[in-house]
C-alpha cells in the first residue's frame, strides 16, 4: 500500500475542481468552464424541445439493462486488453470506474472497443451510451458531447531516449516528433506549429522512437510512464509551462442529462470516498510491477 501510494503520488492527481479546457496554450478559468457548459446545456434543452422524438433516444438505460461504454483499449493504465479484465477482456482504471457506474445503477457494463476518434460519433449515433477513454475535456469536444465531472488530471509529456538533449518543449523545434492521431498531444504539437507524424497507436509511436525513426513522442503522462517502464532506454521530459494540465471525463450524447446525472452521482461518490485514487494507485502500481 505504501508503494502504491508513492506511485500514485507521482502521477495521479485526482481532480477536485475544473481547471483548463485546453491542453496547450490558453486556459479557461474555472468560471468559464461552468459558463460554457451551462450554455451548451441550454442549447441542448432548446434543441430537445424542438424535436421531442430525440428525447426517447436519449433516455438512459434502466436498471436490469446493459450500459454500453465505448473506449479505445490502447491506453494503459486507463484501458487495455488483458486475459481477464474487470469487464470481459478489458481492464484499467476507466474500466473499473465504468463497472462501478453500471453496478451502482443496477446495470451490467459492456465495452465496445473502437478507434479513439470514433468515440464521439458512436455516442451521437447511439452505438454506445457513454465514452470512457481517458478522454480530455476540450473546447471542441464539448461542442459534440456532454462531459461528466472530471475524475483525473493529466498533462502531456515528452518521451525521449535516455541520451536525448531535449530538456523542454522549445527543444522540439528541430526534432522529429511523433504523436497519436486525434489525441490531445497531437493538438498540442499542432498548436505549437511543429511538424509531426501521427500514429494510430501509442505502441506504434514508441516503436518508432525505439528504432530511432523519431526523436520524441508527446503523450499523456500516466500512459507515457507505462511505456517508459516497459521499455529500457527511454525517459520522460516534462514541461509544465508548455503543456497545461488536462482533465479526463466521461462523455455522453449531448442532452442526455438522465445518464449524465447517474454517472456524476457515482463519480462524485468515488472521488469523495477515495475509490478513484485507490484505483489509480492500484493500476499504476500493477503496470509498473509487470
Which residue from 11, 12, 24, 75 is in contact with ligand ARG, where contact means CB under 6 A?
Answer: 75
Find the binding residues for ligand ARG in span 103-122 (CB under 6 A): 116
**Site size for ligand ARG (CB under 6 A):** 13
CB-nearer residue toward ligand ARG: 81 or 210: 81
For ligand ARG, the closer CB: 129 or 220: 220
52-60, 70-78, 230-238, 257-265 -> range binding ligand ARG (CB under 6 A): 70-78
Kindly provide the residue ranges of all beta strands, DSSP E only, lying in 59-189, ordered along the sequence.
66-71, 74-75, 79-81, 90-91, 108-113, 130-131, 145-147, 152-161, 177-180
Alpha carbons 176 and 195: distance in angstroms, whole number: 8
Minimum distance of ligand ARG from residue 196's CB (angstroms):
15
> Least distance to ligand ARG from the beta carbon of 201, Å?
8
**How many CB atoms lie under 10 A from the CB of residue 53?**
7
Q: How far apart are CA 26 and CA 235, in angstroms?
A: 27
Cα 170 to its chain centre, rounded Å, is 25
- Binding residue for ligand ARG, selected from 79, 91, 129, 247, defined by CB under 6 A: 79
Dihedral of CA atoms 40, 41, 46, 50 in degrees, nearest 10, equals: 100
SS3 261: helix
Q: Is 152 exposed, middle or buried (0-12, 13-18, 19+ CB in 10 A)?
A: buried
How many other CB atoms sit within 10 Å of the CB of residue 19? 18
Which residue's CB is nearer to ligand ARG, number 58 or number 111? 111
Complex with ligand ARG: residue 22 or 58, whichever CB lies closer? 22
Q: Which is nearer to ligand ARG, 67 or 137 (CB)?
A: 137
| Segment lying near ligand ARG (by CB under 6 A), choices 54-62, 106-114, 127-135, 233-241 | 127-135
Out of 44, 184, 221, 256, the only residue in the binding site for ligand ARG (CB under 6 A) is 184
Q: How far is the CB of 77 from ligand ARG (least distance, A)?
A: 11
Nine cell digits for residue 238: 516534462
CB 186 within 8 A of CB 180: yes
The answer to whether 135 contacts ligand ARG (rule: CB under 6 A) is: yes
> How near is the Cβ of 64 to ligand ARG at its closest, in Å?
28
- Scanning 49-57, 59-67, 132-140, 188-196 for contacts with ligand ARG by CB under 6 A, the matching segment is 132-140
Closest CB to ligand ARG among residues 58, 69:
69
Query: What does each C-alpha distance from 180 to 146, 198, 210, 233, 241 come to in angstroms?
Result: 24, 5, 16, 21, 21
Restricting to residues 48-67, which ones interact with ligand ARG according to CB under 6 A? none
Residues that bind ligand ARG (CB under 6 A): 71-72, 74-75, 79, 116, 133-136, 183-184, 220
Amino acid at each position: 500500500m505504501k508503494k502504491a501510494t508513492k506511485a500514485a503520488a507521482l502521477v495521479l492527481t485526482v481532480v477536485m475542481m475544473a481547471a483548463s479546457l485546453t491542453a496547450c496554450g490558453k486556459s479557461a478559468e474555472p468560471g468559464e468552464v461552468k459558463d460554457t457548459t451551462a450554455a451548451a446545456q441550454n442549447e441542448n434543452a432548446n434543441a430537445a424541445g424542438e424535436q421531442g422524438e430525440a428525447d426517447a433516444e436519449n433516455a438512459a438505460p434502466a436498471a436490469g439493462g446493459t450500459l454500453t461504454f465505448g473506449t479505445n483499449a490502447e491506453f494503459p493504465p486507463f484501458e487495455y486488453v488483458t486475459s481477464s479484465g474487470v469487464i470481459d477482456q478489458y481492464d484499467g482504471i476507466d474500466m473499473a470506474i465504468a463497472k462501478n457506474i453500471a453496478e451502482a445503477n443496477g446495470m451490467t457494463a459492456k465495452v465496445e472497443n473502437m478507434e479513439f476518434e470514433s468515440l464521439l460519433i458512436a455516442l451521437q449515433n447511439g452505438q454506445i451510451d457513454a465514452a470512457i477513454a481517458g478522454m480530455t475535456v476540450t473546447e471542441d469536444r464539448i461542442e459534440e458531447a456532454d462531459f461528466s465531472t472530471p475524475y483525473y488530471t493529466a498533462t502531456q509529456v515528452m518521451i525521449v531516449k535516455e541520451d536525448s538533449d531535449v530538456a523542454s518543449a522549445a527543444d522540439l523545434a528541430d526534432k522529429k516528433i511523433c504523436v497519436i492521431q486525434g489525441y490531445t498531444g497531437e493538438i498540442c504539437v499542432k498548436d505549437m506549429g511543429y511538424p509531426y507524424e501521427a500514429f494510430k497507436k501509442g505502441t506504434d509511436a514508441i516503436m518508432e522512437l525505439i528504432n530511432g525513426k523519431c526523436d520524441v513522442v508527446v503523450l499523456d503522462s500516466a500512459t507515457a510512464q507505462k511505456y517508459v517502464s516497459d521499455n529500457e532506454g527511454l525517459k520522460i521530459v516534462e514541461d509544465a509551462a508548455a503543456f497545461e494540465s488536462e482533465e479526463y471525463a466521461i462523455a455522453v450524447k449531448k442532452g442526455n442529462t438522465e445518464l449524465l446525472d447517474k454517472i456524476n452521482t457515482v463519480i462524485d461518490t468515488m472521488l469523495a470516498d477515495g475509490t478513484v485514487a485507490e484505483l489509480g494507485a492500484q493500476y499504476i502500481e500493477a503496470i509498473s510491477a509487470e
